Amino acid sequence: MIIDVHQVQYTYSDGTKALEGVEMEIPRGQFTILLGPNGSGKTTFFKVITGLLKPELGEIKIEGRPFREFSREELYKRIGFVFQDPNDQLFAPTVGDDVAFGPINLKMTSDEVGQRVRESLEMVGIPHLINKPVHYLSYGQKKRAAIAGVLAMKPDIIILDEPTAGLDPAGVREIMELLVKLNKKEGITILMATHDVDLVPLYADRIFILHMGHILLAGTPAEVFSRKETVRSAQLRLPRVAHLAEILAKRDHMAVGELPLTIGEARKMILANVNGDVNAYGR
């Protein structure tokens, strides 16, 4: 496992228990989504596994090596963290300056830094913005610039807190397609948090539902969303198409079987019912 989290606990100074006995295993190369409502502990968990907060109990391992054995510099090379609001992450005058910050602090030569900056901006699709002042960027461009700054460190793992928050539908699609490219083509392990359940079936290999500091469910999208009442008890809902299938089954007596989670799956289910061959429906 590239990430192994065992019985992690974190309590804030005011007594709020943000994490209680969290367990998580993530294989190398997996696209994992941490799903949960606001206040469930997602951001705290990310800060703990990136070293920004120290857990009071439990252990975190990166490829079998205890977290405590890593220097801060080693962690920065292995794990990149993209904040929910890019304005909390971007601080340099220009995009190029911001992306260069990490490599410069690793004492790279100017040629190496320049290459890292160009490669990272190319990967996120904004090489033309290298000299653009950060405060002139759109929100979506800022998201890409923040990801580029992380990529410049060539991490094995990228952790993103609500990467689609504040974006319009086109921006959401672009960011998610970028993350899929980084995962599938570059081999980067992706762990992202969201409360947008409709994104999950489209992109996740595996889901963890975090609720009140506990992992409530874990599995593939099909496995997790089949536990409908448990999902709803975590103040979440089913994907829209799954909810539609529930209504069709209850009110219109349509044969549903395994709940569809995407438009493509729902189409197959409806066509199977129309053609009178419900056995033809399947994932």
Residue 234 and residue 36 in contact, taking contact as beta carbons nearer than 8 Å: yes
Please enumerate in sequence order all residues whose Cβ is within 8 A of that of 179, keeping only pairs 6 or more positions apart, or say none. 31, 158, 160, 163, 190, 192, 203
The answer, yes or no, to whether residue 191 has pLDDT greater than 70, is yes
Residue 155 and residue 78 in contact, taking contact as beta carbons nearer than 8 Å: yes
Q: Rounded distance, CA 190 to CA 212, Å?
A: 23
**Distance of CA 164 to CAs 15, 170, 184, 207, Å?**
31, 10, 19, 17
What pLDDT is attached to residue 282? 53
The answer, yes or no, to whether residue 184 has pLDDT greater than 60, is yes
What pLDDT is attached to residue 97? 95
Q: Is the domain of 257 the same as that of 192?
A: no
The answer, yes or no, to whether residue 280 has pLDDT greater than 70, is no
Q: Rounded distance, CA 163 to CA 165, Å?
A: 6
Q: Of the candidates 236, 255, 274, which is a domain's last residue?
A: 236
Kindly report, residue by residue over 70-121, the tens digit of the pLDDT.
Answer: 888 788 889 999 999 999 999 999 999 999 999 998 889 999 999 999 999 9
Kindly report, residue by residue over 143-156, the tens digit of the pLDDT.
Answer: 999 999 999 999 99
Instruction: For 164, list phi and psi in degrees, rounded to 5.
Output: -100, 0
Q: Report the domain count for the chain.
A: 2
Q: Is the domain of 143 the same as that of 227?
A: yes
> Over pLDDT 70: what percentage of the chain?
98
Residue type, 132: K
Q: How many residues does the chain have?
A: 283
What is the extent of the structural domain holding 90? 3-236
Residue 11 and residue 58 in contact, taking contact as beta carbons nearer than 8 Å: no
- Pick from 274, 276, 249, 275: which is nearest to 260 by CA? 249
Q: Is the domain of 262 the same as that of 123?
A: no
**From the centroid of its chain, how far is CA 84?**
11
Kindly report, residue by residue over 235-246, the tens digit of the pLDDT.
Answer: 999 999 988 888
What pLDDT is attached to residue 60? 93
Q: Is the domain of 145 the same as that of 82?
A: yes
What pLDDT is attached to residue 277? 66
- Residue with the larger pLDDT of the pair 262 and 128: 128
Long-range contacts of 124-131 (CB under 8 A, 24+ apart): 124/148, 124/151, 124/178, 125/178, 126/95, 129/95, 130/94, 130/95, 130/96, 131/94, 131/95, 131/96
What pLDDT is attached to residue 69? 86
What pLDDT is attached to residue 281? 53
The Cβ of residue 145 has, within 10 Å, a number of other Cβ atoms equal to: 27
Q: Is the domain of 9 the same as that of 123?
A: yes
**From the centroid of its chain, how far is CA 68?**
24
Kindly report, residue by residue over 156-178, the tens digit of the pLDDT.
Answer: 999 999 998 888 898 899 889 99
Kindly report, residue by residue over 28-78, the tens digit of the pLDDT.
Answer: 999 999 999 888 899 999 999 988 899 999 999 999 988 888 888 788 889
Q: Is the domain of 187 the same as that of 245?
A: no
Confidence of residue 124 (pLDDT cuts 50, 70, 90): very high
67, β-bridge pairs: none
Exposed, middle or buried by CB within 10 Å (0-12, 13-18, 19+), for 235? Answer: middle
Q: Is the domain of 197 the same as that of 266?
A: no
Q: What is the largest CA-CA distance in the chain?
A: 67
Q: Is the domain of 227 the same as that of 281?
A: no
Q: Is the domain of 208 the same as that of 232?
A: yes
Which helix or strand (DSSP H or E) is residue 8 part of?
strand 3-11
Q: Is the domain of 251 the same as that of 273?
A: yes
Kindly report, residue by residue over 196-233, the tens digit of the pLDDT.
Answer: 899 999 999 999 999 999 999 999 999 999 999 999 99
Q: Is the domain of 265 the same as that of 137?
A: no
Mean pLDDT of the chain: 90
- Pick from 41, 32, 26: which is nearest to 200 by CA? 32
Scanning 18-166, the segments in alpha helix (DSSP H) are 42-49, 72-78, 95-105, 110-123, 139-151
- Pick from 170, 192, 168, 166: which is nearest to 180 by CA? 192
Domain CATH code at residue 226: 3.40.50.300
The answer, yes or no, to whether residue 140 has pLDDT greater than 70, is yes
Q: Is the domain of 41 the same as that of 169?
A: yes
What pLDDT is attached to residue 258? 84
